[in-house]
Amino acid sequence: MPTFKDIQEAYEILKSVVRRTPLERSKTFSHMIKANVYLKEENLQTTGSFKIRGAYNKIYHLTREERKIGVVCASAGNHAQGVAYASTLMGVKSTVFMPIYTPPTKIIATKSYGATVVLEGITYDDAALAAKKYAEEKKMTFVHAFNDDFVIAGQGTIGIEIFEVLPQVDVILVPIGGGGLIGGIALACKTLKPKAKIIGVEAEGAQSMKLSLEQNKIVPLKSIMTIADGIAVKTPKELTFSLAQQYVDEVVTVNDEEIANALYLLLQRTKLVVEPAGAVSLAALLSKKVSFPKNNVVAVLSGGNVNLSLLTQIIERGMMRNKLLVKVSVTALDKPKVLKDLLAILADFGANVQAIAHDRCTTAVPVGYVKIVITFQTLGKEQIEMIKKEFDRKKVKYHILS
């Protein structure tokens, strides 16, 4: 088991390597949640996530001979980048095993930091098995993503940073994948302020730690399904499970819609790009899975390495949810000027058209008619209502798509 002294040692080692990421109070989220909400912005960390902390601390403690042979790790992306970057800084060869469905941006970034990347398995656990086998064959050091004293101690330095800026902290919400991040932060913060509450947050489709704590034993999941790939872990390990049992007050879950909403609001309100795994702590607050009125609450944003295609989808869905983007389906006679008249209505109300699609070849559309789907930006609900009234007045047969 790592100790607080190990975290303090890691803090000194990492001072000249990692960024001291901001801990900022959010006026917007504080108002929405009725508490003093602070964001620990590890999405702005070197390599885009907190993982550089644990990876560097682990490799720093290798023997000279171990460094010569090199290191191996398995990761869904962020640990991979941390290991690759840390290894390159110390002149150590690194080989990284990643699940085959890892977002391309994370694969490219890992290679750019100097690692050899091997794609293996569907989940992190599959990649980890392959990586361990490879490490044994090559006599290389396996750098575990979370079940390691030095890795956990490195992640725990975030707890010291939080306490130094906000010694009056009451609650800290931390994403849970394998449990290394929350294990380190919880150990640090419970040592510095025993009354502080540590709340873990998992994706609903990958709640291995929550189930394990409820059953008082490690419970492997048969399958996982979530957009939060960075915390999609089937099985917590002995070390992180023990730390969670000892120091974590509660674990809650959030679903993918709640995660996407938190990610969208972070981008819109704070201009922060956060990956789904990094947004779960705030998602738990916004969805009222936990509530701490008037308390000083810290939400750890653990990373910002988001898949750009997923980000685009989340932005569009967020805009539609907030009535800033609308899709309207119109069934009309297939004749000249019909589209022109529809666009004229939208133009008169200042709507900005993004896309237009026609469909004649379907049994859902009567012969001689056409279905037109128009995607347009609006200024909000009032503008949409005015457009709908005009459609009704001109007897346009339409349907707003959700």
Among all residues, which ones are annotated catalytic?
A: 51, 302
Mapped onto helix, strand or coil, the DSSP state of residue 119 is strand
Mapped onto helix, strand or coil, the DSSP state of residue 365 is coil
With tokens 């609900």, the residue in question is: 381
With tokens 């390691």, the residue in question is: 148
Cβ pair 98, 123 in contact under 8 A = no
Return the amino acid letter for 149. D
Collect all residues with Cβ–Cβ distance below 8 Å to 221 and sequence separation of at least 6.
Answer: 206, 207, 208, 211, 234, 235
Q: Which two tokens stand for residue 351?
A: 């709507």
Query: Closest Cα to residue 114, out of 78, 71, 84, 72?
Result: 84
- β-bridge pairing 36-41 and 296-301: parallel
Beta strands, E only, 139-249: 141-142, 171-175, 197-203
Report the Cα 402 to chain-centroid distance in Å: 25
Tell whether the torsion through CA atoms of 125, 127, 132 and 133 is positive or negative.
positive
* CA distances to 207, 233, 355, 384 from 223, in Å: 10, 9, 38, 42
Write phi, then psi, for 351 (nearest 5 degrees).
Answer: -80, 140
Collect all residues with Cβ–Cβ distance below 8 Å to 270 and sequence separation of at least 6.
Answer: 26, 28, 29, 39
Collect all residues with Cβ–Cβ distance below 8 Å to 31 and sequence separation of at least 6.
Answer: none
Length of the chain: 402
Cβ pair 318, 388 in contact under 8 A = no
Any bridge partners for residue 296, and if so which?
36
Q: Which two tokens stand for residue 341?
A: 């008249």
Query: Closest Cα to residue 157, out of 302, 296, 14, 59?
Result: 14
